[in-house]
């Protein structure tokens, strides 16, 4: 005899379909956030790149100044014809500052700082580069530093090698960069009288290069990347859509299958009960029928009649007992019979 007890586990029928859409919204929000943050991070990295590139350009401009200035200093200054734009330097106090060639051309000595001022003018006219030679202790009052340069020069005296930052000049972004000018042997020809020694900081040159070309490249690159990020985002979104649709299909299928199974189980229970009742009622009904037929015979004596009616009463009693048991059924216990699985009324009504 085999006993079966039904043990219900959590089924798909308890699944709330709204939950699937909450998950979907959650996935989309997280995915969009991830893409936005990635693009933001990329943008920041690219901006750092722009700063680095502008600094390299500014450093190169500074180094150019240092190189031609050294060349000038090595010669202790160089002569150039006196013109409207190149007048003798009143701050240059050297022997034979102004001379004349045998044919009568007037020449004046150009010291490195004078040359730098002229080169700066030219660089600004040609390329928009800004440059300024300065010192905390200027010989020429026009060379005095501005606020930013003063702070930079002071930091060089504390050991800093370079100062740079982004400035808005004439509504354009510029990278300003300043480095110190160190007193070399050649410089002492003119600067020894101010008490400078080799290796000391004489002053500095500040340069400013426009960041616009770098920013323009950045902008177009970012546009391309934004398109790539958008495409990746879209692919993710479409993927999520297909995945959720497929998942929803699977869940619906399972739901239908489970409902079908449940119906089948119920039907089975009904059949098992019907079989059990038929089986239990069959025997008493047969006996009641047989005894009724005997009673109905013509020549039956009183004693047999009483005996037969007694037998019928006994079967009716048996049927009554069975009905009372049926009312008390609280359990689902089955047993195997030749006609198939039936409810075990005795065990189920205990």
Round to whole Å and give the CA distance between 155 and 294: 132
Q: How many other C-beta atoms can be found within 10 angstroms of the C-beta atom of residue 215?
A: 14
Q: Which is nearer to ligand HEC, 88 or 269 (CB)?
A: 88
**Residue in 170, 157, 91, 163 with CA at minimum distance from that of residue 130:** 170
Round to whole Å and give the CA distance between 161 and 182: 11
Lookup: tokens for 323? 């009905």
Q: Which is nearer to ligand HEC, 67 or 257 (CB)?
A: 67
Q: How far is the CB of 190 from ligand HEC (least distance, A)?
A: 3
Q: How far is the CB of 114 from ligand HEC (least distance, A)?
A: 4
Q: How far is the CB of 118 from ligand HEC (least distance, A)?
A: 10
Lookup: tokens for 307? 């005996």
- On whether the CB atoms of residues 156 and 181 are closer than 8 A, the answer is no
Using CB under 6 A, list all residues that contact ligand HEC: 69-70, 73, 76-77, 89, 91-92, 94, 111-114, 133-135, 138-140, 143, 181, 183-184, 186-187, 189-191, 202-203
Q: Which long-range contacts (CB under 8 A, 24 or more apart) does 230-233 make?
A: 232/35, 233/31, 233/32, 233/35
Q: Give 73's contacts (C-beta < 8 A, 6+ positions apart).
A: 112, 184, 186, 187, 189
- On whether the CB atoms of residues 329 and 349 are closer than 8 A, the answer is yes
Q: How far is the CB of 163 from ligand HEC (least distance, A)?
A: 16
Round to whole Å and give the CA distance between 89 and 18: 86
Lookup: tokens for 344? 């075990």
Q: How far is the CB of 67 from ligand HEC (least distance, A)?
A: 11
Round to whole Å and give the CA distance between 249 and 287: 58
Q: Give 2's contacts (C-beta < 8 A, 6+ positions apart).
A: 334, 335, 336
Q: How far is the CB of 203 from ligand HEC (least distance, A)?
A: 3
Q: How far is the CB of 198 from ligand HEC (least distance, A)?
A: 10
Round to whole Å and give the CA distance between 206 and 189: 24
Q: How many other C-beta atoms can be found within 10 angstroms of the C-beta atom of residue 179?
A: 22
Q: How far is the CB of 204 from ligand HEC (least distance, A)?
A: 7
| Residue 314 φ/ψ, nearest 5 degrees | -60, -40
Q: Which residue has the tokens 């190169």?
A: 60
Q: How far is the CB of 72 from ligand HEC (least distance, A)?
A: 7
Q: Which is nearer to ligand HEC, 102 or 141 (CB)?
A: 141
């Amino acid at each position: 005899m085999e006993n079966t007890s039904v043990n219900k586990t959590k089924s798909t029928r308890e699944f709330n379909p709204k939950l699937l859409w909450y998950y979907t919204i959650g996935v989309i929000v997280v995915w969009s956030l991830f893409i936005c943050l990635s693009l933001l991070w990329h943008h920041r990295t690219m901006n750092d790149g722009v700063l680095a590139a502008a600094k390299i350009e500014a450093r190169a401009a500074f180094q150019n100044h240092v190189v031609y200035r050294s060349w000038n200093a090595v010669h202790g200054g160089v002569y150039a014809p006196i013109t409207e734009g190149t007048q003798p330097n009143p701050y240059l106090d050297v022997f034979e500052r102004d001379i004349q060639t045998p044919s009568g051309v007037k020449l004046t000595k150009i010291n490195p700082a004078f040359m730098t001022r002229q080169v700066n003018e030219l660089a600004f006219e040609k390329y928009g580069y800004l440059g300024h030679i300065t010192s905390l202790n200027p010989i020429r009052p026009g060379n005095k530093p501005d606020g930013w340069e003063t702070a930079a020069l002071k930091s060089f005296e504390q050991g800093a090698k370079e100062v740079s930052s982004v400035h808005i000049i004439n509504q354009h972004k510029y990278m300003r960069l300043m480095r110190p000018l160190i007193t070399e042997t050649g410089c002492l020809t003119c600067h020894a009288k101010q008490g400078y020694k080799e290796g000391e900081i004489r002053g500095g040159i500040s340069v400013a290069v426009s960041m616009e070309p770098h920013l323009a490249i950045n902008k177009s690159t970012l546009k391309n990347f934004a398109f790539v990020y958008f495409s990746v985002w879209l692919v993710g979104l479409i993927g999520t859509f297909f995945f959720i649709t497929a998942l929803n299909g699977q869940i619906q299928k399972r739901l239908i299958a489970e409902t079908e199974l449940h119906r089948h189980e119920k039907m089975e229970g009904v059949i098992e009960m019907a079989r059990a009742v038929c089986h239990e009622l069959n025997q008493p009904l047969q006996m009641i029928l047989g005894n009724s037929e005997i009673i109905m015979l013509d020549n039956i004596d009183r004693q047999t009649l009483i005996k037969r009616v007694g037998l019928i009463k006994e079967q009716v009693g048996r049927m009554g007992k069975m009905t009372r048991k049926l009312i008390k059924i609280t359990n689902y216990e089955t047993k195997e019979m030749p006609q198939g699985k039936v409810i075990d009324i005795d065990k189920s009504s205990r």
